[in-house]
Structure 1
Amino acid sequence: MSHSRTTTYPINQVFLDRWSPRFFLEKEVSDEVLFSLFEASRRASHPFNFQYWRFILARKQEDREKFYSFIAEGNLAWCQKAPVLTLIISEMNNKKEFNKSHSSDTGAAWGYLLLEATKKGLITHPMTGFDFKSARRILNIPEKYTINALVAIGYQDNKEELPKIIQQRENPILRYETKDVLFEGSFGQKIK
């Protein structure tokens, strides 16, 4: 799955192989493979064993149809082929107080999931192009949970199966240089 991506500093190849294509093969993901992704997500760090994150899965056709009802048209053009959709939510209020790290802990869990997916030969594509209010209502999500992202999971197909306009965007994107995202000592102090 290697691409022509390069790094300034050496890192594990899984980080270079991971990207977010939109061309899904209409092939079921076995429970053993799928649940291993969520097993990996359980290993993310979190304070006091709260594990703020939750995932709402749509694997059956009727469940995916519910999800389709709140997904933006542009995303529907490609994600309807994905065999699995999952909505990532995190609990903002636990034990009557605001959880300050719910979003970062949930992001770590999502990161573990996507890396395990890459190692298993799967692709993942996160999106926020959907109606968050409708998702909350349709999936009965309590207000104490925030909706973070929707992710399509499956096996990669040929990009020629996508509409032409989407095919043009289907390449791993460049990233900022490492030093471009770092400050040292305080905000705005660039690394030298």
Structure 2
Amino acid sequence: MSRAAVTSTPINPVLANRWSPRSYDATKTLTKADLNASFEAARWSPSANNSQPWRFIVGFRGDETFNKIVPTLAGWNSAWMPNASAIIVAVAQTAGADGTPNHYALYDLGQSVAHFSVQAQTDGLYVHQVAGTDVEALKEAFNLPAGYEAFLTIAVGKLAPADDLPEALAEREKAPRVRHELAEIVRYDAFED
């Protein structure tokens, strides 16, 4: 079953084929080297004033870091995410050492994760970003300093069949991909009342 996006105009095939699976192959492992290109892509993403406020904490299935992340996963995420080869905590430096807020930190973190995910897809890996995580527990578990906030977790790995998931998740995995139409998200004038 193809998961490629049905687009209204052609787009880069890597972007069209990028999606966020929940079914990861628990027998596949990754190494630091396997993620280097994706982190390099994240490193070179744009940021306000070149502040580069992103940081990443990486756990590989079975290691101590991974085992600290798993208990922070909420709801359904705790059922499928531990099968991923790696789980990454995306951290934003939201304030400088003097306490001055960086109002663009989360936007910049998002751009870096987007770059990461496109490079990972190019390299045959699949990425699923998850907000359903106890970020306060992550902050404590990894002793984040003042001015740094855990924002979300990211599963990375190789695909497994959707039928390996619990039935409700398998159905979601196989459901058609949908997006708002361009006319709904792109405006060339002011919003109307």
The match for 2:89 is: 87
The match for 1:178 is: 182
Give the RMSD, CA atoms, in angstroms: 1.9
- Partners in 2 of 1:52 and 1:189 — Cα distance? 36
Q: Secondary structure at the match of 1:147?
A: strand
- Partners in 2 of 1:143 and 1:181 — Cα distance? 36
Structure-2 change in CA distance of 1:88 and 1:4 (3 Å): closer
Pairing partner for 1:78 from 73, 76, 80:
80
- Partners in 2 of 1:160 and 1:3 — Cα distance? 15
Identity among equivalent positions (%) equals: 28
Task: Tell me the number of residue pairs that the alignment of Structure 1 and Structure 2 aligns.
Answer: 189
Shift of residue 43, structure 1, vs aligned partner: 1.1
Partners of 2:24 and 2:83 within 8 A in 1: yes
Structure-2 change in CA distance of 1:4 and 1:48 (3 Å): closer
The Cα offsets for residues 62-105 of structure 1, whole Å up to 9 and x where unpaired, read as: 22111112111421111111110001011111253221211111
The residue type equivalent to 1:63 in the other structure is T
- Partners in 2 of 1:2 and 1:158 — Cα distance? 13
- Unaligned runs of 5+ residues in structure 2 are none
Normalising to structure 1: TM-score of the pair?
0.90
- Partners in 2 of 1:125 and 1:4 — Cα distance? 16
The residue type equivalent to 1:8 in the other structure is S
Q: Secondary structure at the match of 2:36?
A: helix
- Unaligned runs of 5+ residues in structure 1 are none
The residue type equivalent to 1:165 in the other structure is A
Pairing partner for 2:158 from 131, 155, 160:
155
Partners of 1:82 and 1:154 within 8 A in 2: yes
Normalising to structure 2: TM-score of the pair?
0.90
Structure-2 change in CA distance of 1:3 and 1:71 (3 Å): closer
The match for 2:6 is: 6
